[in-house]
A and B are shown apart, each in its own frame.
Chain A
Amino acid sequence: MEIVMTIVAGILIATAVYLMLSRSILRIVIGTGLLSHGAHLMILTMGGLKRGAAPLLGQEASSYTDPLPQALILTAIVISFGVTSFFLVLAYRAYQELKTDDMDKLRGNENHE
């Protein structure tokens, strides 16, 4: 199972990279979203996908899935959500002020500000 999940994560990351290399801001933000999905999936897979009960002690099972990667992913999800929403509002403000979403037109240059 790990092999399949690793490949899926790899595909997610490859598409994310391809999107991040595009010109439109929206696609770049979509790319970052995909990238964080790929990363979360990777953490989960690296923790091992052995079957066991959910990490709730009330279940009285003989073995549980590893709780530590889950805690890490939870933290990561929240942080990436915070960052993504910030980015999105940043992109929205950029649309409003600069009237474009083309990264090539947003080329910064201190000489002609």
Chain B
Amino acid sequence: MSLIHLVILSPFLLAIFVPLLHKYFKRIHTGWFVLALPILLFIYFIGNLGNVMAGNTYLSTMNWIPSMGINFAVYLDGLGLLFALLITGIGSLVVLYSIYYLSKEKEALNTFYVYLLMFMGAMLGVVLSDNMLVLYSFWELTSISSFLLISYWYHREKSRYGALKSMLITVFGGLSMLAGIILLYTMTGTFSVRETIASVDIVTAHELFVPALILFLLGAFTKSAQFPFHIWLPDAMEAPTPVSAYLHSATMVKAGIYLVARMSPVFAGAPEWFWLISIFGIITLFWGSFSAVKQTDLKAILAFSTISQLGLIMSLLGIGSAAVYYDYLEENIYTVATLAAVFHLINHATFKGSLFMVVGIVDHETGTRDIRKLGGLMNLMPITFTLAIIGGFSMAGLPPFNGFLSKEMFFTGMVNATQIDAWNMETFGMIFPVLAWIASIFTFIYSMVLIFKTFTGKYQPEKLDKKPHEAPLGMLIPPIILASLVVIFGFFPEILKGLIEAALHSIFPSNFTVEDVHIYFWHGWTTELFMTIGVIAFGSLLYLTLAKWGNIYEWFPKRLTLNKLYDGGLVGLERGSFAFTKFYMTGFIRNYLVMIFGFMALLLLLVMGQTGAFNFSLDNASKVGVYELILALVMVIAAITILFTKSRLSAIIALGVVGYSMSLFFVLFRAPDLALTQLIVETVSVALFLLCFYHLPEISKKVNRLRFRLTNFIISISVGIVVILIGLSVNSSRVAESISDYFVKASYEEAGGKNMVNVILVDFRGFDTLFEIAVLTIAAFGIYAMIKLRLTKGGSQ
């Protein structure tokens, strides 16, 4: 256990004390106690920055289940550090923001901070774990804490719906990822990410390569809200706004991105990886930005915007994987896509975090997030407006903010993608820049909608619950910090150089040299710049005419949306399983018996047919005696009489006939003890049967014949035939001699008895007898209790 283990576990440890702090320091907002931790952790990770930028990595292992190769191994490299900085940095700001956002009096702060700390620790565990099973454990913990945070206001139905939806989708993905991890384990024999990367040759050549790849991608796509699994993210907006800012824009949704980046050294270079990631990414980008325009809720706009930006990052990671395919090509033009992905990852976290906080402020100060009610807040909330401008313009990709730089690099990556001359890219390559360009136009439009529909236009005080005014300072500080970062990264992108380089080294295989990273603010009159100018021109035009073409969203049939598919699927699953259960769980004992006997006969016949058990010989058979034949005939006739008799009395008597013939058989086959027992038992049984018969209720006393049913007939005949076949086949193939010679020899010499059956019962196998006595005792007690104990439903006598 080293310091870094403590760093990952410290949020969990603090979470234990949060309820106590909440209980005993009621005057102080619990968030202040929590705030110190993420700041400390952030400082700790900053302290590691120099070391990691110098190319060093850090590994520390703590044993957990060593016999199964599961160790809590922490691995700190560029990628892990980048995410850890995002998590702790934005975490600190979100905690500060939440102190002002959540009321000390009205909200259950203890649960909020426990869940938030749980999430923070889990997320740190995801990005810093080297052992894949430990990573998976933390991964699911993020799903669970996200579920708890979305349903924070659990008395609202929509919160519960959103929480359940996100839970179902992300846990589905998490379980797929677990399957992928296990597949990788069967290939390499290790759960360690680094060791898997070291044995990448085995993995690539293995036949399970593609299944493992797809399973991992399912995990990444569901977590990162990629098409068509993006539907949970808009519904997760029911969470408190600090949660949306933290989980659903900056950190948790990037866990999938992290997974793709982390597993790139294992899977990159394969066409499946390239196509799946880049195609799903670009579709998500397009669909997210297209859907964002029609939203009227500010948080819904931001949710779809997050989906679209995650698609952007994902598609860039896909394109970037082409660099591995073209190992050591002279002008390594595909790595720029990965570079853009990492850069945009940072940028998105900054501007999206600040935008969520801005929306939270608007919500907090006006009481609504509906853009149809909002407008003209510019003069009332100037600082918030400035923050929205910075965040929104950065999101739209306008200069001089950081979003502009990453958007330019994104276009560069997409244009370069058309030059790939493998994997059918000659045919389909053009769709990447075209879709990317259209998506950017929509991104521009919704960014403008977000800014201008909220802050400009007509002020409508009659529609608002509260009288809006500028937010308190504490609520403004976190978005101000993020917005300043947006500007700083926009003007001085070189300060991120070292961190991005270190992260790129983790994404590409170790034998792969990454060129020096240069992010230019001004890159000359290139294609990308003209594309951006086109985006601005078309975007402005479309934004101004939004009212005219906005109704194209009505064309899309409402029944065919993915949400309807999800809801319908859920309802269908429930109804289907209910109908299926109702179909075979009829409640009639006869139906169950038909199934049990039918399957028994079928399975036994199948097994006998497959193992060739149908060979019958008569070599061992003994001679047929006349007495036995007559007795057998009597027995069969008596048994069949039971079926055909009208009255139950004759049925009971016929059963008695069968029983007494049994004892006669025992006489004939030299079994005196059996004959005795059988006689007595049969007599008592028949008496008991008659007792039951006598107590039949009046109504059903009228005699009736057993009704003939074909199914019952077929089932019983086949069971009988199967029994006969098994009996014959057993009789004709004896494998070994009986052990009874020993009993014959030893029953007098060793046990001192001449009746061998009795000696076996009480001496050689006395235990059987002991428990048979127990059975009889229990039956007797049971009968006594049934007759004597007459409790009614309430438990009274």
Residues of chain A within 8 A (CB-CB) of B597 are 17, 21
Bound together, the chains give a CA A51 to CA B716 distance in angstroms of 33
Q: Tell me whether A19 and B642 are in contact in the complex, defined as CB-CB below 8 angstroms, given that A13-B720, A46-B731, A67-B760 are known contacts.
A: yes
Residues of chain B within 8 A (CB-CB) of A10 are 720-721, 723-724, 727
Residue B484 interfacial (CB < 8 Å)? no
Establish whether residues B674 and A70, one from each chain, have CB atoms under 8 Å apart when the complex forms: yes
Within 8 A of B (CB), among A53-105: 53-58, 64-68, 70-71, 73-75, 77-79, 81-86, 88-93, 95-96, 99-104
Q: How many whole Å from A60's CB to the nearest CB in chain B?
A: 10
Interface string of A11-31 (1 = CB under 8 A from B): 111111111111110110110
Residue B184 interfacial (CB < 8 Å)? no
Residues of chain A within 8 A (CB-CB) of B625 are 1
Bound together, the chains give a CA A90 to CA B618 distance in angstroms of 45
Among A13, A41, A66, A108, contact of B740 (Cβ-Cβ < 8 Å)? A66
Q: How many whole Å from B692's CB to the nearest CB in chain A?
A: 5
Establish whether residues A93 and B787, one from each chain, have CB atoms under 8 Å apart when the complex forms: yes
Q: How many whole Å from B295's CB to the nearest CB in chain A?
A: 44
Among A6, A30, A85, A103, contact of B783 (Cβ-Cβ < 8 Å)? A85
Bound together, the chains give a CA A88 to CA B782 distance in angstroms of 12
Q: Tell me whether A92 and B695 are in contact in the complex, defined as CB-CB below 8 angstroms, given that A20-B593, A21-B712, A55-B757 are known contacts.
A: yes
Residues of chain B within 8 A (CB-CB) of A4 are 624, 628-629, 632
Interface window among B30-38, B300-308, B417-425, B651-659: B651-659
Bound together, the chains give a CA A88 to CA B671 distance in angstroms of 28
Bound together, the chains give a CA A38 to CA B635 distance in angstroms of 11
Establish whether residues B754 and A26, one from each chain, have CB atoms under 8 Å apart when the complex forms: no
Q: Tell me whether A99 and B632 are in contact in the complex, defined as CB-CB below 8 angstroms, given that A3-B621, A54-B672 are known contacts.
A: no
Within 8 A of A (CB), among B640-692: 640, 642-643, 648, 651-652, 655, 658-659, 662, 665-666, 669-674, 677-678, 681, 684-685, 688-689, 691-692
Residues of chain A within 8 A (CB-CB) of B712 are 18, 21-22
Residues of chain A within 8 A (CB-CB) of B739 are 68
Establish whether residues A68 and B738, one from each chain, have CB atoms under 8 Å apart when the complex forms: yes
Bound together, the chains give a CA A51 to CA B693 distance in angstroms of 41
Q: Tell me whether A67 and B743 are in contact in the complex, defined as CB-CB below 8 angstroms, given that A10-B721, A15-B639 are known contacts.
A: yes
Residue B611 interfacial (CB < 8 Å)? no
Closest chain A residue to B724 by CB distance?
A: A10
The bracket for how many chain A residues form the interface is: 35 or more
Establish whether residues B727 and A56, one from each chain, have CB atoms under 8 Å apart when the complex forms: no
Within 8 A of B (CB), among A23-47: 23-24, 26-27, 29-30, 33-34, 37-38, 40-42, 44-47
Establish whether residues A15 and B622, one from each chain, have CB atoms under 8 Å apart when the complex forms: no
Q: How many whole Å from B753's CB to the nearest CB in chain A?
A: 8
Establish whether residues A73 and B776, one from each chain, have CB atoms under 8 Å apart when the complex forms: no
Bound together, the chains give a CA A4 to CA B642 distance in angstroms of 21
Q: How many whole Å from A26's CB to the nearest CB in chain B?
A: 6
Establish whether residues A83 and B779, one from each chain, have CB atoms under 8 Å apart when the complex forms: yes
Q: How many whole Å from A51's CB to the nearest CB in chain B?
A: 7
Q: How many whole Å from A58's CB to the nearest CB in chain B?
A: 5
Residues of chain B within 8 A (CB-CB) of A21 are 590, 593-594, 597, 709, 712, 715-716
Establish whether residues B756 and A6, one from each chain, have CB atoms under 8 Å apart when the complex forms: no
Q: Tell me whether A81 and B628 are in contact in the complex, defined as CB-CB below 8 angstroms, given that A30-B655, A49-B669, A67-B740 are known contacts.
A: no
Residue B696 interfacial (CB < 8 Å)? yes
Establish whether residues A55 and B642, one from each chain, have CB atoms under 8 Å apart when the complex forms: no
Q: How many whole Å from A37's CB to the nearest CB in chain B?
A: 5
Residues of chain A within 8 A (CB-CB) of B727 are 2, 6, 9-10, 42, 45-46
Establish whether residues A2 and B622, one from each chain, have CB atoms under 8 Å apart when the complex forms: yes
Establish whether residues B761 and A75, one from each chain, have CB atoms under 8 Å apart when the complex forms: yes
Establish whether residues B697 and A95, one from each chain, have CB atoms under 8 Å apart when the complex forms: yes
Q: Which 4 A-B pairs have the closest CB atoms?
A: A14-B720, A10-B724, A82-B779, A6-B727
Sample of 12 A–B contacts (CB below 8 Å): A17-B715, A21-B597, A37-B658, A56-B755, A64-B756, A68-B740, A74-B673, A74-B677, A82-B780, A86-B783, A99-B697, A108-B587
**B interface list, Cβ under 8 A from A:** 587-590, 593-594, 597, 618, 620-625, 628-629, 632, 635-636, 639-640, 642-643, 648, 651-652, 655, 658-659, 662, 665-666, 669-674, 677-678, 681, 684-685, 688-689, 691-693, 695-697, 699-700, 706-707, 709, 712-713, 715-717, 719-721, 723-724, 727-728, 730-731, 738-740, 743-744, 747-748, 754-757, 760-761, 765, 768-769, 772, 775-776, 778-780, 782-783, 786-787
Known: A44-B671, A102-B700. 8 other contacts (CB 8 A): A2-B621, A20-B593, A24-B648, A30-B642, A49-B622, A95-B696, A101-B696, A104-B588
